[in-house]
Amino acid sequence: MVGHESGAKQVSAGISTPGAGQSTSSAEGLQFKRRYTTQDVAPFDQVEWQRRTSVITNPDGSVVFKMEGAEIPREWSQLATDIVVSKYFRKSGLHGQKDQGETSVRQVVHRVAHTIRVAGERFGGYFATPEDAEVFEQELTFLLVNQYGAFNSPVWFNCGLYHEYGIEGSGGN
């Protein structure tokens, strides 16, 4: 708890919420404190990256999916690589180009984290200040790229496709 007076804000996992006697109105917005990131270093710059190949095969050895040169955090397992590349990378339609798809975990994580941040700013006043929105996005980016947590598949499949790439609907992947 921050402070000892009545009405002090409760702090958990970097999120400040109203204490006793304080309004829960969303007009105030959430405040975020940094736990994993610093203002001067982007979360993606805290990770060592490498290019990898992902190959998914049938039991008979025939190739179902293959992508070479995917940019992946060095600490990720090959299984995590295969899942994100084969399932969650957008394969086509980036910026209206049929043959342009995502090639990096950076793109996927940015697409999701940035879209959630922007939605919070535009559609609900979820953040107390623009700085809180920035901290939220950077902390979420850190958590995702370091595999402290993950969203379920529909989020990875859909979140940010329109906002980042102008993709509407579900076809073409």
Report the C-alpha dihedral over residues 56, 107, 70, 36, rounded to 10 degrees. Answer: -100
Q: How many helices (H) and strands (E) does the chain have?
A: 5, 5
Please name which of 141, 126, 132 lies closest in space to residue 37, comparing C-alpha atoms: 141
Tell me what the pLDDT averaged over the chain comes to.
86
Report DSSP state, residue 79. Answer: H
Q: What count of other Cβ atoms lies within 10 Å of the Cβ of residue 6?
A: 9
- pLDDT at residue 10 greater than cutoff 60: no
For helices 130-145 and 105-123, give the axis angle rounded to 10 degrees.
150
pTM over 0.95: no
Could you read off the pLDDT of 21-38 as tens digits, one per residue? 444 444 589 999 999 999
pLDDT band at 95 (very low <50, low <70, confident <90, very high): confident
pLDDT, residue 97, reads: 80
In three-state secondary structure terms, 131 is helix
- pLDDT at residue 94 greater than cutoff 70: yes
Q: Give percent of the chain above pLDDT 70.
A: 82
> Which neighbouring-strand residues pair with 66?
55
Please name which of 74, 127, 98, 28 lies closest in space to residue 18, comparing C-alpha atoms: 28
> Which neighbouring-strand residues pair with 50?
72
Q: If you search the block for the tokens 């947590």, which residue do you land on? A: 149
In the chain, the amino acid numbered 106 is R
Could you read off the pLDDT of 112-166 as tens digits, one per residue? 999 999 999 999 889 999 999 999 999 999 999 999 999 999 999 999 999 999 9
Q: Pick the range with the lowest mean pLDDT from 15-19, 50-54, 118-122.
A: 15-19
Element (H, E) at 123: helix 105-123
Q: What count of other Cβ atoms lies within 10 Å of the Cβ of residue 14?
A: 16
In three-state secondary structure terms, 15 is strand
